[in-house]
Amino acid sequence: MPYSPLLIRPMREELTSAGFSELTTAEAVDRLLDETQGTTLVVVNSVCGCAAGGARPGARLAIQEAPRPDRLATVFAGQDLDATARVRARFGDIPPSSPSMGLFKDGELVWFLPRHRIEGRDALAVAADLRTAFAAHCAPVAVPS
């Protein structure tokens, strides 16, 4: 049975208040991920306290400093079913899990963090993984001369 929208609203807002765009339809996912230039981080959010409790603050921490993805987005597993299914289709041959995160570069998935790599870890550890991925795949911010 789906959780009450009232219960999950703070969990959505934990990401949207940090600048993540919430994708609630398959069409919105396509519009974002059809973009073939730059980098996009997609967080598959979930209610699960065992893992999402570290995933959301970890994602918030990781984007505080450059390099960071050009675009930030999120879908909510178990709530926004079509959007979540479309994101998972974009993950290709990777089993579904939530929470999880994928980093796309020029339209291709280049990095993925499955749920079991989030479970039991704190926000700092999750953020460290994300920053390593950002350093590898995201362009540094140009510094005006």
Kindly list the residues in this chain that would bind another protein in the complex (CB under 8 A): 3, 10-11, 14, 47-53, 56, 94-97, 112, 114-121
In whole angstroms, the minimum distance from the beta carbon of 106 to another protein comes to: 21
- Report d(CA 126, CA 95) in Å as an integer: 20
Tokens of 46: 């979930």
Of 11 and 42, CB closest to another protein: 11
48 is catalytic: yes
- Report d(CA 24, CA 65) in Å as an integer: 27
Q: Are 112 and 90 in contact (CB under 8 A)?
A: no
Question: For strand 21-22 and strand 39-45, is the pairing parallel, antiparallel, or unpaired?
Answer: unpaired
138 is catalytic: no
Length of the chain: 145
Tokens of 113: 């963090």
Of 38 and 96, CB closest to another protein: 96
In whole angstroms, the minimum distance from the beta carbon of 141 to another protein comes to: 30
Of 81 and 112, CB closest to another protein: 112
Of 11 and 28, CB closest to another protein: 11
Q: Is the peptide bond before 67 cis (omega within 30 degrees of 0)?
A: yes
Catalytic position from the list 50, 135, 136, 141: 50
In whole angstroms, the minimum distance from the beta carbon of 52 to another protein comes to: 5
- Report d(CA 42, CA 97) in Å as an integer: 13
Catalytic position from the list 23, 29, 41, 48: 48
Q: Which residues are catalytic?
A: 48, 50
